[in-house]
Amino acid sequence: MADPDFREGFSKAARLIAAADGLLITAGAGIGVDSGLPDFRGTEGFWQEYPAFGQAKTRFEEIANPAAFRANPKRAWGFYGHRLQLYRETIPHAGFALLQQMGERLPQGAFVFTSNVDGQFQRAGFDETRIVECHGSIHHLQCLDQCNAEIWAADSLQPTVDAPTCTLTSPLPTCPSCGHLARPNVLMFGDWEWHAQRTDQQYRRMLQWRKKAKRIVVLEIGAGTSVATVRTFSEAQDVPLIRINPTEPQVSGFGIELPVGALSGVTAIAEALRHERQ
């Protein structure tokens, strides 16, 4: 059960972090809510953000799917193009800077493991070489036809989207090698075509960090159970776990449950750390 005295929970979390030599930050979509990003909790939430899909009764799993790029590439890229622009324009909330400060005080620093494809940790100033994006990145592209295994940055892609229909009106992005349709380098639903080598390299760097960091603490933020990749990873580390989640804070085994939002939880831990060090 969650500690009814949140202040004591924050203090316990602060003591764990202060005694660690490394901080493993694991994050799901909930960390971006305080920055104004949608969480897509349930079909209704998705349809509220994208009414065009609600009118067609299209579920998130159906548009976040490689098959959607073949069936209707303008519609699929309308969705992903809109998300790409949204992520480019979003300013990470203050909690990201507080997380950086927590890591900087530890001998081995911090490493990030996230299922988010939005690049918000990089945008907030986290070291690119200390981030694992386990589901890939919308800021990178690959060939839909898999003509090769190349992954390239989406920096030059400037999508224009008709919002009422969620349809791409600018030219479709193409593969520089074969000229056929490009897709985001994102692990989608029913996706056996995702090129994972960029993420694999990130995993290797994290394993090297883990060899140096002997007393780590996992600070998990906004990771739900509907797609449990982050939660499963956090629990598999077999180290103390601090879970910040307003609706699903439960921890099995040794851990601290904080049923609060990302920004308020991180801010409270940072404040408790300041008191801990005085």
Question: What are the residue boundaries of the structural domains of the chain, listed by start?
Answer: 6-277
Q: Looking at per-residue confidence, does 41 or 194 come out higher?
A: 194
Q: Where are the beta strands (DSSP E) in 32-153?
A: 110-114, 131-133, 136-143, 152-153
If pLDDT is split at 50, 70 and 90, which confidence band does 276 have?
confident
Angle, to 10 degrees, between the axis of helix 262-277 and the axis of helix 94-104?
A: 40
Which CATH number is 6-277's, of 3.40.50.10140, 3.40.50.1220, 3.40.50.720, 3.90.850.10?
A: 3.40.50.1220
Write the pLDDT tens digit of every residue in 209-222: 999 999 999 999 99
For 106, residues 6+ apart whose C-beta sits below 8 A from its C-beta are: 17, 20, 21, 22, 23
Task: State how far Cα 51 lies from the chain centre.
Answer: 24
pLDDT at 42: 66
Write the pLDDT tens digit of every residue in 30-56: 999 999 998 776 677 788 889 999 988
Q: Where are the beta strands (DSSP E) in 180-271?
A: 182-186, 216-221, 241-244, 255-258
Out of 46-50, 59-63, 125-129, 227-231, the most confident range is 125-129
Q: Where are the beta strands (DSSP E) in the chain?
A: 22-27, 110-114, 131-133, 136-143, 152-153, 161-162, 167-168, 182-186, 216-221, 241-244, 255-258
Out of 42-56, 113-127, 142-156, which region has the weakest mean confidence (pLDDT)? 42-56
Q: Looking at per-residue confidence, does 45 or 12 come out higher?
A: 12
Task: State how far Cα 67 lies from the chain centre.
Answer: 23
Query: 226-264 burial by CB neighbour count: b if 16+ within 10 A, else e?
Result: eeebbbebbbebebbbbbbbeebbebeeebbbbbbbbbb
Distance (Å, whole) CA 275 – CA 142? 48
Residue 73: count of CB within 10 angstroms of its CB? 17
pLDDT at 20 over 60: yes
Torsion of CA 33, 157, 60, 261, to 10 degrees: -10
If pLDDT is split at 50, 70 and 90, which confidence band does 25 have?
very high
Residue 276: count of CB within 10 angstroms of its CB? 14
If pLDDT is split at 50, 70 and 90, which confidence band does 205 have?
very high
If pLDDT is split at 50, 70 and 90, which confidence band does 2 have?
very low
